[in-house]
């Protein structure tokens, strides 16, 4: 498998806005990412504490990122509209991803 690239978007927001952000991810961002070639997966995280938790979204891609920037920019614009914060975006080479299912079997294993 070619190397997996990660794109990370992070921002702080009011906890009450998290459901709207997740809805935007589910309804708008993920279906568009899934339609693009080389999309491997997505992880969304929220920090555990504080009235303004940090939200981190990590998209995973095999080499090519064609078309992903436009979708990501629209999502960042929507986050800014909803939360008033400006999300940051960074790129990474993914070193390792491993996810197990409920029965202890590996269901994702990316070197």
pLDDT tens profile 40-79: 889 999 998 778 999 999 988 887 666 777 888 888 888 8
Q: What does pTM read for this prediction? A: 0.81
CA distances to 37, 49, 68 from 11, in Å: 27, 14, 19
Q: In the CATH scheme, what is the code of domain 4-110?
A: 3.30.70.100
The per-residue pLDDT for 2 is: 56
| Residue ranges per structural domain of the chain | 4-110
């Amino acid at each position: 498998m070619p190397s997996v690239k990660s794109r990370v978007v992070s921002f702080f927001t009011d906890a009450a806005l998290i459901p709207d952000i997740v809805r935007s991810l589910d309804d708008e961002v993920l279906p568009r990412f899934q339609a693009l070639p080389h999309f491997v997966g997505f992880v969304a995280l929220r920090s555990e504490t504080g009235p303004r938790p940090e939200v981190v979204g990590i998209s995973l891609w095999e080499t090519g990122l064609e078309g992903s920037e436009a979708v990501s920019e629209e999502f960042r614009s929507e986050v800014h509209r909803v939360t008033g914060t400006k999300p940051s975006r960074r790129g990474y080479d993914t070193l390792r991803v491993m996810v197990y299912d409920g029965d202890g079997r590996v269901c994702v294993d990316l070197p």
